[in-house]
A and B are shown apart, each in its own frame.
Chain A
Amino acid sequence: MIREFVLETILQIKGLKKSFGAQQVLKSLNLEIRKGEVVTLLGPSGCGKTTTLHIAAGLLKADAGEIFLRGAPVGHLPPQKRKVGMVFQRYALFPHMTVYENVAFGLRMMKMPSEQIRKEVYDILDVVRLPDVTHKFPSQLSGGMQQRIAFARALVMKPDILLLDEPFSNLDEKLRREMELETRRIQQAVNITTLFVTHNQEEAFVMSNRVAVMNAGQIVRIDSPREIYRDPGSRFVCSFLGDANYLEGRVTGVESDTIFIRVNDLLLEATSSSAVREGGQVAVAIRPERIKISKNESRDARNVFNGVISDVIFKGASLSYRIKVGEIVFDVDKYSQEDDLFMVNDSVYLKFDKEAVLILQIDN
């Protein structure tokens, strides 16, 4: 899955800074996107991801830093002079124009001959699988269809890069999942380099080759979805990519491939990490799906703890158990179809691999 990109750099952002009044939104942001790649800016609202997108589009001016498209600086160019396509959060279709006129708008601005416009419009509507709605107005289409038209309108211009500004946030859950896959299909069909902005971790994972997690105007981590999920590095990134049980303790021993961490009465084992030293404080996270539960004590005594189930939460496909181990509460996820289901007040044993213990930096 992790592809190696030895391709041309399409978008390069160097030392981007932006403030609105006294509030600094971007603090020296750097990013590079290569041809055909989908990179996601993932972060909470107010982290500067949309600002970055708008600066790349030319809709905002940066205070400092430079943007390169195919190696050429474009920071001084207005949006209409950059070969950049954008799908807006609320699609921004022109309500007074038919679907055909919407998609043809950019081509008409280029003064393309009308015969050729016709061909290009129908070609791209085939790609988004909506060839039969050309005469309709946007208000006569469903949300999902409007979005596909917004994609068609941006893609028909054959831009160097496509910018997506939270395009799924207006759709209900079911349609959102459908459109994620549809967008992925369209993206691969035309092999368009894409910069995608979202606050939804699942969207980011489904869509991207690389995810850049942003916080307070900076990229705090950029890597492939799997790598980030496997080793988030900091509590902020970890919490943004799903639920986890967070613990803090002290390193009591370091061996060649194992470190020992004492959290209250519990002694955890984790794979060794260069980030810790003996006697130091350390924060760790354990994903709820990485913990196994059983009635019987395992023979292997490492990372096995006895606890009592204090709550069971049914979520459909999965079940969530809250388990008290001494003073510490663990959340554990299980498929609800599994045979071994437990009740409140059952005494159980928790067990997890040492690879499941994620070592995090201690946030200040």
Chain B
Amino acid sequence: MKRIATFVKSYKWMWPLIPAIGLIAVFFVLPMIHLFRLSFLKYDPNQIYLPIYTLENFVKFFGDIYFWNMIWVTIKVGLLTTVGVIVLGYPVAYYLTQCYGIERTLLTVGFLMSLFVTMLVTTLGWAILFLPYGLIQQFLEMFGLIAGRLQFIKTVTALVIVLIHIHLPYAILILAASIQAVPEEKMQAARMLGAPNYKVFLNIMIPLTMPGIVSSTTLIFMLAVSSYLVPVLITGYSVRVLPIAIWSYTSELLNWPFAAAISVVLFVITAVGTYLFLVVTNWMTKRGQWEMV
């Protein structure tokens, strides 16, 4: 009894963690275990699944070129979105760290405000712009740049543009925090040693802000490949990405084991992709060997 009492006492510091750990365990870990199990169960048209373990869901998935293509489109959308967000977001984040006072407050509030607008509204706004005979088409026709119906709304390009727009604020805020952490003097020192601006950026800024680049890249990639609402509203079924297939097998075809299998594939892709990206950037910037001074 006494030993139990001491044990409980020595782990007293963990008490505040219990609600969060409990939430994660009940609403994330348990469903994930269930999902993983489901992906190995046999599909049955009447009972949805039978308690028989099988690999047939994965065999079906990887045996079909249609699904391989879907993986490729999903990864392509994820990568294009991520690259677009980082390339567009980095200069803005840098500018944000360089301005002061009211300008900075207004900019920050502006980025945060756009997060208050629900993704549904933002996406519908874009859908209206992209519609055949919508605003973009009218505008382009006004200048005689195009004639006839615009084939824009159902494309990967349109999807990536909307995903970039929606995810930009997250990346800017994360990147700004990591750019802020690099002392101005490091850049000045590089300049005084004869480095032109692009070399200061490549040799000093990129390696020193790599933690921010990695975390925003990871976050944006995961959000983009798992995005469901935006593909549904912008491209419908004409651009097939994994989340749409998951939804369709879950709600329309009621083949839950197969939907679970696609989910597991998507999960593994994001996990492995993120891990590889971390390993490569760590190796490139020699992370772990040095500390900020």
Measured between beta carbons, the chain A residues less than 8 angstroms from B285 are 96
How far is B285's CA from A139's CA once the two chains are assembled, in angstroms? 15
Q: Does A92 contact B (CB under 8 A)?
A: yes
A138-B290 in contact (CB<8A): yes
Contacts of B199 in A (CB 8 A): 109
Task: Name the distance in Å between A333's Cβ and chain B's nearest Cβ.
Answer: 39
Interface pair A110/B192, CB less than 8 Å apart: no
Give Cα distance in the complex from A93 to B286, angstroms. 16
CA distance A110 to B195 in the complex (A): 9
CA A105 – CA B191 in complex, angstroms?
11
Q: Is the CB of B208 within 8 A of A79?
A: no
Q: CB of B16 within 8 A of chain A?
A: no
> A59, A80, A139: which contacts B195 (Cβ < 8 A)?
A80
Shortest distance between the CB of A22 and any CB in chain B (Å): 14
Contact A109 B185, CB 8 Å, known A95-B292, A137-B290: no
Query: What's the Cα separation between A118 and B134 when bound, in Å?
Result: 63
List residues of chain A with CB within 8 A of the CB of B183. Answer: 90, 92
Per-residue CB contact flags for chain A residues 115-147 toward chain B (1 = under 8 Å, else 0) read: 000000000000000000000011110000010
CB atoms of B204 and A94 under 8 A apart: yes
> With A59-B188, A96-B207, A96-B286 in contact, do A91 and B195 touch (Cβ < 8 Å)?
no
What is the distance, in angstroms, from B102's C-beta to the closest C-beta of chain A?
14
- Min Cβ gap A306→B in Å is 57
Contact for B194 among A80, A88, A89, A139, CB less than 8 A:
A80
> Measured between alpha carbons, how far is A58 from B285 in the docked complex, in Å?
30
Residues of B within 8 A of A59 (CB): 188, 191-192
A90 B185 Cβ-Cβ under 8 A: yes
Is the pair A88, B185 in contact by a Cβ cutoff of 8 Å?
yes
Q: A79 contacts B192, CB within 8 Å?
A: yes
Name the CB-closest residue of A to B289. Answer: A137
Which residues from B are CB-within-8-Å of A146? 293
* Interchain nearest-CB distance for A53 vs B (Å): 11
Please tell me if B60 contacts chain A, counting CB pairs below 8 Å.
no
**Tally of B interface residues using CB under 8 Å:** 24
The one of B186, B203, B289, B290 that contacts A92, using a Cβ cutoff of 8 Å: B186
Task: Indicate whether B189 reaches chain A with its CB closer than 8 angstroms.
Answer: yes
Contact residue among B191, B193, B290 (Cβ-Cβ distance under 8 Å from A153): B193
- Residue contact B189 to A92, C-beta cutoff 8 Å: yes
Decide if A80 touches B286 in the complex (CB within 8 Å): no
CB < 8 Å A-B pair total:
80
The answer to whether B186 and A94 touch across the interface, beta carbons within 8 angstroms, is yes
| Complex: A32 Cα to B252 Cα, angstroms | 83
B192 A138 Cβ-Cβ under 8 A: no
Is B190 interfacial (CB-CB < 8 Å)? Answer: yes
Interface presence of B19 (CB below 8 A): no
CB distance from A119 to the nearest CB of B (A): 18
Interface size of A as a range: 20 to 34
B45 within 8 A of A: no
The reply to whether B293 and A91 form a contact with Cβ atoms under 8 Å apart is yes
Q: Once bound together, how far apart are the Cα atoms of A84 and B194, in whole Å?
A: 10
Bound Cα distance A88, B190 (Å): 12
**A2–B138 Cα gap in the complex (Å)?**
81
Q: Is B291 an interface residue (CB 8 A)?
A: yes
Flag whether A86 is at the interface (Cβ < 8 A).
yes
Contacts known (A80-B196, A88-B185, A109-B199); A95 close to B191, Cβ less than 8 A: no
Let me know if B208 and A84 touch, CB within 8 A: no
Residues of A within 8 A of B188 (CB): 57, 59, 79, 86, 88, 92
Q: Considering the chains assembled together, what is the distance between the CA atoms of A140 and B291 in angstroms? A: 8
Residues of B within 8 A of A154 (CB): 192-193
A93 B190 Cβ-Cβ under 8 A: no
A79 touches B293 (CB 8 A): no
Query: Known contacts being A96-B208, A138-B293, A139-B293, is A78 close to B191, with CB within 8 Å?
Result: yes
In the complex, residue of chain A having the shortest beta-carbon distance to the beta carbon of B206: A96
Say if the beta carbon of A288 comes within 8 Å of chain B. Answer: no
Chain A residues, Cβ within 8 Å of B194: 80, 106, 109-110, 157
**From residue A291, how far is it (CB to closest CB) to chain B in Å?**
45
Q: Is the CB of A105 within 8 A of B190?
A: yes
A43 interface residue, CB < 8 Å from B?
no
> Nearest-CB distance from A107 to chain B (Å)?
9
Please determine whether A105 and B290 come into contact, CB atoms closer than 8 angstroms.
no
Indicate with 1 or 0, residue by residue over B181-222, a CB within 8 angstroms of chain A CB atoms: 001011011111111100100011001100000000000000
A contact set with B: CB distance below 8 Å: 57-59, 78-80, 84-86, 88-96, 105-106, 109-110, 137-140, 146, 153-154, 157
Task: Beyond A79-B192, A137-B289, A138-B290, list 9 extra A-B contacts (CB 8 Å).
Answer: A58-B192, A79-B191, A80-B192, A92-B183, A92-B188, A96-B290, A109-B196, A137-B291, A153-B189
15 residue pairs A–B, Cβ–Cβ below 8 Å = A57-B188, A59-B192, A79-B191, A86-B192, A95-B291, A95-B292, A95-B293, A96-B286, A105-B190, A105-B193, A105-B195, A106-B195, A138-B290, A139-B290, A157-B193
